[in-house]
Structure 1
């Protein structure tokens, strides 16, 4: 509720609009003019997000580096299982996202009290140990995603560097290159962008990132279609690799890891509430969010099916872990360079989309714990080119910079693209995308145990838990295998 007034006013009155927005009405003595100042029902400045901005956030979060691993995932699953599994993940993610969007307000999904983040929603609907489960999984996953994006961005920058080197010196040149340098460069960019104070101010960055994700997805799709119709190579098999290609245990682990990669490709539930908190009303936030989710997931599924299927058809069971590294450096090298540059720009924005909730959580906790500490409360305003006046806090400067440096160092120690994506996806899929949304829906809707709906929801819970465990085991096995022949901070050729 607004508590400020204007000098020279005769009286103040407060009313609410149909959706609970607080309106401070000022009756001026000198002009006899009524001035309305609107704030949202929680006293915050009016939210301005809409379906399009929310869709951009969803697409930025969903269409990420995960799309590059889908051809490899298809190669592990084959034509029979691959496409249905991708569609199944899309349907599960969309359904549980609807359940989660209804939990933005509690106890009523339209007029109830706002929950500003995922943990608030869990606290309002479930409470108890579920709050700790949510916090641990959500923020660990967000940190893991930031690490995964740092690795992926550096891989794309390395691909550009190698492509240029081979183009100038020939395809037999050694072209030694270090991913550590590129990770440090990516981190330097994030050190600056991380000073953007909150989620609502990165809409422009998110829009640019969404455009970039479309760009490199289209390029990967186009190259895949072109190579598919070239003669002289396998277009894949019905069931993926045969036991003659790899041993039986490795086949099983890779199938499990493929499930984790697909789960990672659809992960965005951990920031859905934060995206929804940017939406204006009317209409009700959950209705707008459901439309944005449908648009975002439908769009990404079309891309995922196209890129995954054509990538698999292009390379068969030898599909690379990162699709854009499989086309060589001359076919055509400039287009692949551009696609990799688009990946880097996209991940610059996506890193912020996933990191802002972590920043907000730590800063809110610190502010509430030490409310009188000047180091936490002091802010200086500076003018920025894209975001207008930005408040710079000494605490934010130190804490956010430390976070970026931490993610870069871990990325340097464990630069395994497919394995890390699979592990991150497996770790977050069941608890954040399925279990908590389902349990919150059951609590909010007061669904009785052992009814048909309750049994169906619990069955969904169990199946997705099994998938997550299998995916995690496969990814861990892959990391262990990679560590056998990896030396940290070593320049590769």
Structure 2
């Protein structure tokens, strides 16, 4: 029997509030810096509808996950998929790994931007290398979610400082360079950009990928995980609404660009952003590394942990330099990797769980159909945006 199979085998360390704090620390991350630009693309009415819809859908998908995991303490989607068929398990593993690898690459990219603002550097290849190297120490010291609870509070505080500074800088007239490239383009191009914006929002608002990791260390996961999820979604939805309304019309696609010309703002904002993303990186690196460690059958030692986290971080550095466009990378991750993890994977896990309720089956089928739509439309929009941006920027890995 797995060491995570029975509730009694792992007493956990926190309840509803502790679980919600970890989920909010993961969600109120770098994606929020792209939300004002995406909200302008979709229109405030469209964004508000998306926010409400996301609350309902994420709570529904999270409930499917917790019902599938009821009675146990599975570490993540990969472990919970052990009883699924070979094809379903392969789909779940592919979605899990692709999402976390891409997310870590996006975190390295944002950490490099934070360093550049804080110290005045300008070479993404070098600053991202420095950022990746610096977070390895934190990864060695935080090998459980419980140890990340207090750093998560500091992380949330740091991102609020960054958001406050960005919003304080929004009193200036908008820079024409902030305008999206599709403005005035044909309708099909605007539709693709809107699809990419939806993908970006899916990335920022998803809570499922670490729900099981958080659930596993709760004192009573069967009773506490759903309330923690609902509280977390309500909290970060409120934060997102305040940020979008505070940013006003025509914000930059990367909200941090609003302070790039103000030295007295950009240095503290860059330092706080780096601190925040370092914790977010550790929160996502820990489950990915533990899952890989288990699948590869590696011995649980400090030396092997260092080697594994170093290899993962090196791949994240590669992603950050291959697609160094923050809004486009967020859209690509959201549509291609986060949508399956947020909606389809919970549905597949529930469909393979016993017993099942008929109305939950219908929910699961809806989540699968929704995922297919988001993946096809959102990924197409993100790829078109990336191609457009490469026409006006230096080649990958170049300063």
Q: Equivalent residue for 2:42?
A: 77
Partner of 1:30: none
Larger radius of gyration: 1
Q: Does 1:205 align with 2:189?
A: no
Is residue 2:382 matched to residue 1:475?
yes
The alpha-carbon deviation at position 482 of structure 1 amounts to: 2.1
Work out the CA distance in 2 between the residues paired with 1:401 and 1:429.
24
Q: What corresponds to 2:204 in structure 1?
A: 265
2:57 alignment counterpart: 92
Per-residue deviation at 1:354?
0.7
Aligned to 2:366: 459
Deviations 1:406-432 (A, max 9, x none): 211331232111111111111233322
Instruction: Indicate yes or no: 2:324 matched with 1:415.
Output: yes
1:320 aligns with 2:252: yes
Q: State the Cα distance separating 1:270 from its structure 2 match.
A: 1.4
Distance change >3 Å, CA 291–CA 244, structure 1 → 2: closer
**Residue equivalent to 1:329:** 261
Q: Which digits, 9 at most, give the CA deviation of each residue in 1:79-123, with x for residues without a partner?
A: 33222123222321122112212223xxxx2xx343222122223
Please give the alpha-carbon distance, in whole angstroms, between the structure 1 residues aligned to 2:254 and 2:174: 19
Q: Which has a greater percent of strand?
A: 1
1:167-225 deviations in Å (ceiling 9; x for gaps): xxxxxxxxx7212222122112122122233333322322221222233234434544x
Please state if 1:180 is matched with 2:125: yes
1:154-169 matches, within 5 Å, as: 154-162=112-120
**Residue number in structure 2 paired with 1:220:** 166
Give 1:117's aligned residue.
Answer: 76
Aligned partner of residue 269 in structure 1, secondary structure: coil
The RMSD of aligned alpha carbons is 2.8
- Note the residue ranges of structure 2 that are not aligned, 5 or more in a row: none
Distance in 1, Cα, partners of 2:183 & 2:96: 40
Q: Which residue of the other structure, out of 41, 46, 61, is the alignment partner of 2:8? A: 41
CA separation of 1:118 and 1:335: change in aligned 2, threshold 3 A: same
**23, 26, 31: which one pairs with 1:66?**
31
Determine the C-alpha separation between the residues in 2 that align with 1:218 and 1:445: 47
Specify which structure has the higher proportion of helix: 2
Shift of residue 304, structure 1, vs aligned partner? 0.9
Cα distance 1:246–1:326, how it changes in 2: closer, same or farther (>3 A)?
farther
**TM-score, with length taken from structure 1:** 0.72
Asked if residue 191 in structure 1 is aligned to residue 123 in structure 2, the reply is no
Q: 2:222 aligns with which of 286, 300, 304?
A: 286
Listed as ranges, the gaps of 5+ residues in structure 1 are 2-19, 22-39, 163-175, 235-239, 369-375, 380-392
Residue pair 1:194, 1:401 contacting (<8 A) in 2 also: no
What is the aligned partner in structure 2 of residue 32 from structure 1?
none
Match of 2:191 in 1: 252
SS of residue in 2 equivalent to 1:270: coil
How far apart in 2 are the matches of 1:263 and 1:340? 25
The counterpart of 2:15, out of the listed 45, 50, 74, is 50
Once residues 68 and 155 of structure 1 are traced to their aligned partners in structure 2, the CA distance between those partners, rounded to angstroms, is: 12
Q: CA separation in 2, counterparts of 1:489 and 1:453?
A: 47
- Residue 344 of structure 2 corresponds to residue 435 of structure 1: yes
CA-CA distance at 1:273 after TM superposition:
0.5
- Using structure 2 for the length normalisation, give the TM-score: 0.88
**Distance apart, 1:268 and its partner CA:** 3.0
Could you say if the C-alpha distance between residues 122 and 407 of structure 1 is closer, same or farther in structure 2, counting changes exceeding 3 Å? same
Point out which structure has higher relative CO (alpha carbons under 8 A, 6+ apart).
Answer: 2
Q: For the Cα contact (< 8 Å) 2:114–2:274, is it kept in 1?
A: yes
Whether contact under 8 Å (1:89, 1:262) holds in the other structure is no
- Residues 179, 464 of structure 1: CA spacing in aligned structure 2 closer, same or farther, 3 A cutoff? same
